Structure 1
Amino acid sequence: MKTIYKKELARIFKDKKMIFSVFFLPVLLMVGIMALVGSLSKSEMEKIQEHKSIVYMINQPDSFAQFMEAADFNISVKDIATDAEFENAKTKLRDGDADLIIEFPDNFDQVIASYQEGQDVPQIKTYYNPSEDYSSSAYETISTQGLEAYRQILLSQRIGDLNGIQIFTVNTDNPDMVVQDDQKASGKALGMMLPYFITILLFAGAMGLGVDMVAGEKERGTMASLLVTQVKRKSIVLGKVFALMTLSGISSVIYIVVMGVSFPKILGGDSGLNFEVTVEQIVMIGVLLVAIAFLYSSIIVLISVFAKDTKEASTYITPAYMVVLVIGLMTMFTTKDAGTMEYMIPFYNTALALKGILVNEVTMAQYGITLGVTLVLGAVLTVAIAKAFESEKVMNM
């Protein structure tokens, strides 16, 4: 077993290209993708802020025109005088060539000035396209915030001091309104992404190596030579599984360190992430990653045993990879606290535990259940691999 173990490790560590492709290329690609997505998102937000909104006005009163000029909104105003122009403006709004339509009642200023108690309250109508970012931004800025400020101005002109009708305010002077554990908040942000990426990268890395360790050797004919030696087949199995587990464990540590450091920087300096891990968290994550690597290695080697070449093995492993992918996505959008039973579900429990460790919410009992289930399942699969290696029919496929 020791000889097989060393042989598999030597095959990787003696090849600089293999070291780079196994340990560093996947995480560099993932960090690059995240950085690109973050950059594109930031660029899009800047474009929305700099965009000069095209706003069509129907019956725009002088008071609102003065308000808009004083507020200095970044807009281009176009008046609508006829029903045909209104329909044309709605078509442009639907096509993304206009951002907002605001319709005032006729003689709006006179109606406001001559309002008597009991009369109908005049209604301002707005039209926007929620599927267009520019239109949504214009609606939020002008229709929601701008019209509310305009309403307050008109109200103050009618009754004078607004404090006379203002029963209370909410957080107008409360800079300490946010009360949270910054460490927990940062851990929650990281906990949504890191477990998913670590799980996916760990499985993907082990998949490439594990397929070559078994199916690849079958394809090259070296497995047949190995099986006719006096080495026990159980030793061959354990040597390969532990070698793959070691390589996967090393890669997972690299992944989590690089992504843990780069993730806050990718989000930007104003992301608010200020995350520090304790020794206890590092140990818990490290032990769990070893267990995950053991389970994934067992799955990949077991599937590879029943394939005659690497192409067939990759085809068989793809469904398992998709299952891991879907389970990882499920944990990203889980908001409620997981119960003890959920920590008994293989694969799902490891992602939950990683997330719980980062936010300091997983109990030792839940962690122990996750670790036990993962190791036991890995051991069962390893026994199944050993049985498969004993079958000449399977090994001669």
Structure 2
Amino acid sequence: MKTIYKKELARIFKDKKMIFSVFLLPVLIMVGIMALVGNLATRQVEDIENHRSIVYMINEPDSFSAFLEAADLNMEVNTIKTDGERENVMDLLRNGDADLLIEFPENFDSMIQEYQTGDEVPQIKTYYNPSEDYSSSAYELISNQTLEAYRQTLLSQRVADMNGLQIFTVNSDNKDMIVQDDHKASGKALGMMLPYFITILLFAGAMGIGTDMIAGEKERGTMASLLVTPVKRKSIVLGKVFALMTISGISSVIYIVVMGATFPKILGGDSGLDIEITPEQIVMIGILLVAIAFLYSAIVILISVFARDLKEASTYITPAYMVVLVIGMMTMFTTSEAGMKDYLIPFYNTALALKGILTSEVTMAQYGVTLVMTLVLGGILTAVIAKAFESEKVMNL
């Protein structure tokens, strides 16, 4: 077992290209993807903010025109005078060539100034296209914010004491309204992303190397030579499983260190993340990563045993990879508090535990159950692999 273990590790660590492709390339790709996504998202926000909104208005009153001019908003205002022009603007909104249409009732100013109790309250109608970012932004800025400020201005002209209309205010002078544990909040933000990335990268790393350890050697004919040597087949199995577990474990540690260090910077300086991982959390994550690496290594090798070559092994492993990917993604959108029964679900429990460690919400009982379940399942699969190695029918596929 020791000889097999050393042989598999030497194959990786004595090849600089393998070291780069196994340990560094996946991290560089993932960090690059996250940085690119973050950069594109920032550019999108800046583009929307800098966009000059194209706004059309019907029957706009002089008071609103003056209000807009004083507000100095980044918008192009066009006036509609006929029903035909109104229909054309509706088409422009559908096609994304216009951002907002504001329709005032006729004689709006006189209706406001001459209003008597019991009169019909004037209604301002707005039209926008929620499928267009520019249109949605214009609606939020102008329809929701600017028109509300305009309403308050007109109301102040009608009512001498505006305070008399305010029954109460909400957080008008409350600078301490946000009450949170910054460490827990940062851990939650990190806990949404890291478990997912660790899960898929860990499995992907084991998948690439593990298939070559078994199916690759079958394809090259070296497995047949190895099986006829005076070595217990159980030793061959354990040597390969532990070698793959070691390689996967090292890669997972690299992933979490790099992702933890770059995550706040990728989000930007205004992210507000204050990530501090305690020694206890590091130990818990490290032990769990070893268990996950063991389980994933056993899965990959078990599937590879029943494949004739690398191509067939990759075909068999892809569905398992998709299942692991989906399960890892589920923790990103989980809002309810996980119960003990959730930590009994294989694969899902490891993602939950990683997230719980980072947010300091996982209990030692939940962590222990996850660890035991992962190790036991990995052990069972390893026993199945050893049994398969004893079968000449399976090994001669």
- Which residue pairs with 1:266 in the alignment? 266
Matches within 5 A, 1:364-379: 364-379=364-379
Give the Cα separation in 2 of the matches to 1:62 and 1:362.
Answer: 61
Give the Cα separation in 2 of the matches to 1:306 and 1:75.
Answer: 65
Give the Cα separation in 2 of the matches to 1:316 and 1:44.
Answer: 40
Give the Cα separation in 2 of the matches to 1:160 and 1:20.
Answer: 74
Indicate yes or no: 2:161 matched with 1:161: yes
SS at match of 2:315: helix
Matches within 5 A, 1:317-356: 317-356=317-356
Q: How many residues align?
A: 397
Give the Cα separation in 2 of the matches to 1:87 and 1:160.
Answer: 41
TM-score, with structure 1 as normaliser = 1.00
The residue type paired with residue 391 of structure 1 is: S
SS at match of 2:115: coil
Any idea what the Cα deviations from partners look like across 1:93-139, whole Å, max 9, x if unmatched?
Answer: 11000000000000100000000001110000000000000000000
Shift of 1:161: 2.1
Give the Cα separation in 2 of the matches to 1:245 and 1:106.
Answer: 75
TM-score, with structure 2 as normaliser = 1.00
- Which residue pairs with 2:37 in the alignment? 37
Matches within 5 A, 1:52-71: 52-71=52-71
SS at match of 1:89: helix
- Which residue pairs with 1:178 in the alignment? 178
Give the RMSD, CA atoms, in angstroms. 0.5
Matches within 5 A, 1:11-160: 11-160=11-160
Give the Cα separation in 2 of the matches to 1:274 and 1:328.
Answer: 24
SS at match of 2:101: strand
- Which residue pairs with 2:234 in the alignment? 234
Give the Cα separation in 1 of the matches to 2:303 and 2:170.
Answer: 61
Give the Cα separation in 1 of the matches to 2:163 and 2:223.
Answer: 86
Gaps of 5+ in 2: none
Shift of 1:86: 0.4
Matches within 5 A, 1:372-391: 372-391=372-391
Give the Cα separation in 1 of the matches to 2:130 and 2:161.
Answer: 37
SS at match of 1:247: helix
The residue type paired with residue 359 of structure 1 is: T
The residue type paired with residue 263 of structure 1 is: F
SS at match of 1:54: strand
Any idea what the Cα deviations from partners look like across 1:64-104, whole Å, max 9, x if unmatched?
Answer: 00110111110000000011100100100110000000000
The residue type paired with residue 376 of structure 1 is: V
Give the Cα separation in 1 of the matches to 2:348 and 2:3.
Answer: 35
The residue type paired with residue 126 of structure 1 is: T
Shift of 1:229: 0.5
Give the Cα separation in 2 of the matches to 1:347 and 1:95.
Answer: 45
The residue type paired with residue 177 of structure 1 is: M
- Which residue pairs with 1:192 in the alignment? 192
SS at match of 1:102: strand
Give the Cα separation in 2 of the matches to 1:164 and 1:41.
Answer: 44
Any idea what the Cα deviations from partners look like across 1:277-305, whole Å, max 9, x if unmatched?
Answer: 00110000000000000000000000000
SS at match of 2:223: helix
Give the Cα separation in 1 of the matches to 2:183 and 2:72.
Answer: 40
The residue type paired with residue 360 of structure 2 is: N
Give the Cα separation in 2 of the matches to 1:224 and 1:269.
Answer: 56
Give the Cα separation in 1 of the matches to 2:50 and 2:56.
Answer: 19
Give the Cα separation in 2 of the matches to 1:302 and 1:92.
Answer: 59
Give the Cα separation in 2 of the matches to 1:393 and 1:372.
Answer: 33
SS at match of 2:283: helix
Any idea what the Cα deviations from partners look like across 1:225-255, whole Å, max 9, x if unmatched?
Answer: 1100011100000000000000000000000
Any idea what the Cα deviations from partners look like across 1:25-64, whole Å, max 9, x if unmatched?
Answer: 0011011001001100100100100000000000000000
SS at match of 2:382: helix
Give the Cα separation in 1 of the matches to 2:160 and 2:29.
Answer: 62
- Which residue pairs with 1:312 in the alignment? 312
Give the Cα separation in 1 of the matches to 2:328 and 2:87.
Answer: 47
Identity %: 79
SS at match of 1:379: helix
The residue type paired with residue 117 of structure 2 is: E
The residue type paired with residue 145 of structure 1 is: Q
- Runs in 1 of length 4+ with deviation above 6 angstroms? none
Query: Which is worse superposed, 375-384 or 156-165?
Result: 156-165
Give the Cα separation in 2 of the matches to 1:25 and 1:303.
Answer: 25
The residue type paired with residue 370 of structure 1 is: T
Give the Cα separation in 1 of the matches to 2:55 and 2:161.
Answer: 32
The residue type paired with residue 352 of structure 1 is: L
